[in-house]
Chains A and B, each alone.
Chain A
Amino acid sequence: MAGLARATWFYPLASAALVLAGWSAVVGLGLVPVAILPGPWTVAAAGIVELMAGRLLGDLAASLARLAGGYVIGAAAGVVLGLVLGSAALARKVVLPWIEILRPIPPLAWIPVALIWFGIGEGSKLFLIAMTAFFPVAIATLKGVRQIEQVLLRAARSLDVTPRQMLLRVVLPAAMPDVVTGLRLGWTLGITILVGAEMIAASSGLGHMVMNGMNSGRFELVILGILLLGTLGLTSDALFARLTRARLLRWHAGLDKASG
C-alpha cells in the first residue's frame, strides 16, 4: 500500500474514483432528481452519441478555432506593444493611461459591446478573445522589458549590435519569462471568455452546447460540456507549461517552474 501510494498516478486516480462513486451513489440512491443531475453513465452515453453524430467534434473544433484565432491576434499585438512601450518612454506616457483605463473592465463585460461592434458572427468572438489575451500579454511584456539588467543592454551596445539583433537576441530572450507568464494567463482567461461568449451568442462551440443542453432540458449535455471545457483548460495549460519550458525558456534553466 505504501508503495502504491507513492506512485504519482495513485492519488489522482483514487480521488477521481471517489468523486465518480459519490456522484453515482447520489444519483443511484435517488437523492436528487435524475432530470437535473444525470448519472456519470448517462453523461458518458450522451458523449458517445454526440461523438458518433459528429456534433461533439464540430463544437470542439469551432471553440478551438475561435480560441486559437483570437489568441494569436491578441497575443501578437500584446507582445509588439509591450516591446514598444518597454523601450520608448514617450510611447509609454501616451499609451499607458489608456491601458490603465481599459484594463480594470472584466473581459466578459465587453461581450455586449463586441456584439454591437462586430455582430453576432465570428468577428465578435475573435475580438473578445484577442482583447482578453492582449492586456495580460502587453503588460507582462512591458514589465519584462523594463526589468532587463542594464548591463546586458550596455554590453550588447558596446558590441555594436543592430537594432534587429538587439530586439531578437537580447531584449526578447531576456524578457521571455515575463512574456510567457502573460501568454499563459491570457490563454486561461481566453477560455473563460470563449465560454461566456458562446453561451450568450453563438450557434456552435462547447459553450453553445452547454446553453443548448439547458434550453432543451438535457442536463447530460450541460455536464458533458462543463467536463470537456475543464479538460480543455487543464490539458492546454499543462501543455503550455511544458512547451514553454522546453522551447522558450531554455536559457532560463535556473528559473523555477514559475507560476506553475
Chain B
Amino acid sequence: MDVRRLPIASLASVIGVLALWEAAAGMGLLNPFFFPAPSRLAATLVELLTVGYPEGTWIGTHVASSLGRVLAGFAIAVAAGIPLGIVIGYVPALDAMTQGIIAFGRSIAAISVLPLFIAWFGIGELSKVALIGLASFWVLVTYTIAGVKFVDPLLLRAAQSIDTPHAAIFRSVILPAALPRIFTGLKVALAVSFMVIVAAEMIATVVGLGALIQEARTTFRTDITISGMLIIGLIGYAMSRLLDWLEAVLLPWRAGIEER
C-alpha cells in the first residue's frame, strides 16, 4: 500500500474509526480497561517515552534490549547457517542426508525450546540469543540450500563451456544467482526472530518489549500493553522496509524476479 497516494476513503476510514472509538470511550460505552481510548493510548506513548514503564525504564531501553538480542542471535545464525547452507546445497549427498533433519528442525516451534535453553544457558541473555539463533538458523539454511541448488543450469553450463575454473564459477555464477533467495531467507528469519523474542521475553525477562507488554497486563495497564503492541508492530514494519531497501541497493540484478 502506497501511503503517498492514499485514497480519501482510506483516510476517512482510519480517522472515522479512531473518532468513533474515542467518542464511544468518552460516552462510557467502551470499558476503558479493555479498550482504552486513542487519546489515552497517545498519552501512554508519551509516558513510555518520558517516565517509562516500569517507572524509570525508558521505552528505548526495552527496544534496545529486544533488538540487541535479535541482532546477536541473528548474527550467529548468519555465520553458521549461510556457509552450511552453501556446502549442503553444493553437495547432493549432504543435501539428501540433511533434508529430513532440516525439515524437522524447521517444524519445531522455536519458542518450545526456550525451557531447554534456559536450563542449558541460564536465565540471562545467552538463552534468548541462542533461541533467536536457533529460530533463524533453520530458515537461513533452508533458503541458502534452495538458492544454491536451484541455480539456472543454463548459466552453469554456459560458464562450464568456456572452461571457467571452479572457484570462479562459484564466485561469479552460483553466489550471485543464490543471493536473492538467501536475502529472502534473511527477511523471513528476521521476521521470525522478532516474533520469537517477543514471546521469549514474556516468559523469561523483565526488560524487553515482550516483557513490557506482559508486565503491563499483570499490573492492569491495558493502555501500555496496547501501545507497546503498536510499537512492536511499528518496529517490525520498519525492519522489513529497511531490508527491502537494502535488497534493492545490494542486489540490483534481483529486479524483475517475482517476489516469493
Mark A residues whose CB is within 8 Å of B: 5, 11-12, 14-16, 19, 36-37, 90, 93-98, 100-113, 115-117, 191-192, 195-196, 199-200, 206-207, 210-211, 213-214, 219, 222-223, 225-226, 229-234, 237, 259
Contacts and interface: CB of A to CB of B under 8 A. Distances in A.
Contacts of B100: 11-12, 15-16
B154 to A, nearest CB: 18
A206 B115 CA distance: 13
A36 B236 CA distance: 34
A111 B202 contact: yes
| Dominant secondary structure of chain A at its interface with chain B | helix
B13 interface: yes
Contacts of A117: 34
Interface string B235-252: 011001000000000000
B113 A226 contact: yes
A12 B99 contact: yes
A205 B236 CA distance: 29
A229 B199 contact: no
Given A12-B99, A211-B115, 14 more contacts: A11-B99, A15-B97, A94-B12, A96-B1, A102-B233, A104-B234, A108-B210, A113-B226, A192-B110, A199-B112, A200-B214, A210-B112, A214-B115, A234-B104
B8 to A, nearest CB: 8
B118 A214 contact: yes
Contacts of B10: 93-94, 96-97
A222 B12 CA distance: 50
Interface string B6-22: 11011111100100000
B34 to A, nearest CB: 6
B136 interface: no
B101 interface: yes
8 contacts: A5-B93, A36-B119, A94-B10, A100-B1, A113-B226, A116-B217, A196-B202, A219-B116
Contact of A226 (B93, B116, B234): B116
Interface of B: 1, 6-7, 9-14, 17, 33-34, 93, 96-101, 103-105, 107-116, 118-120, 191, 194-196, 198-199, 202-203, 209-210, 213-214, 216-217, 222, 225-226, 229-230, 232-234, 236-237, 240, 260
The 5 closest A-B pairs by CB, nearest first: A214-B115, A12-B100, A233-B107, A105-B233, A106-B195
B101 A19 contact: yes
A95 B233 contact: no
Contacts of B17: 98
Given A199-B111, A222-B116, A105 B104 contact: no
Contacts of A103: 233
A113 B225 contact: yes
A5 B95 CA distance: 13
B251 to A, nearest CB: 21
Contacts of B14: 97-98, 101
A86 B191 CA distance: 26
Nearest to A238: B103
Contacts of B96: 5, 11
Contact of B13 (A98, A112, A225): A98
Contacts of A101: 14, 233
Contacts of A199: 111-112, 114, 199, 203
Given A93-B13, A200-B202, A233-B108, A105 B101 contact: no
Nearest to A232: B107
Given A19-B101, A234-B103, A223 B116 contact: yes
B249 to A, nearest CB: 22
Contacts of B260: 259
A93 B13 CA distance: 8
A219 B116 CA distance: 7
Nearest to B237: A104
B233 A109 contact: yes
Contacts of B99: 11-12, 15
Given A11-B96, A14-B97, A15-B101, A213 B202 contact: no
Nearest to A8: B96
Nearest to B214: A112
